[in-house]
Amino acid sequence: MLRVLSRTFRPLRHALAAAALSLLAGPALADLQLYMFDRPGCPYCLQWEREVGPAYPNTAEGQAAPLVHLDIRAPLPPDLTVASQPQFTPTFVLAKDGQEVSRIVGYPGEAFFWGLLEQMIAEAAEEGATE
């Protein structure tokens, strides 16, 4: 039942998130990226790909922080600095100007993922607005 309600209200939630992000956004979110550290065969990565992946680029969050997939075993891109090397998959690192600002370790399910990501992006926008 909860999953049905979550899916029923998802468009409304995304519309509200888009409105909130647009108010906070501007140049503060201009250089955000969401890095997803994964590995082949990771069941939680596959679950994220099924539940979130197809919609992500079309959401307010996906517009604010485009997704970049990285293999957890590969070297970090030279333009990305993280607080610590991710150890578990999936790990989602939100970076601004190539510098990690926050992360989600693991995939807690669709509803929790969206809520956590919205909060991370809002906090990154607030930090950018005060700089």
DSSP of 61-114: HHHHS-EEEEETTSPPPTT-B-SS---SSSEEEEEETTEEEEEEES---HHHHH
Rg over alpha carbons for the chain, rounded to the nearest Å, is: 15
CATH superfamily placement of domain 2-130: Glutaredoxin (3.40.30.10)
Query: Which pLDDT does position 127 carry in this prediction?
Result: 80
Where are the domains positioned within the chain?
A: 2-130
Query: Which pLDDT does position 7 carry in this prediction?
Result: 47
Mean pLDDT for 25-29 is 48
pLDDT in tens, 37-49: 999 999 999 999 9
Query: Which pLDDT does position 131 carry in this prediction?
Result: 56
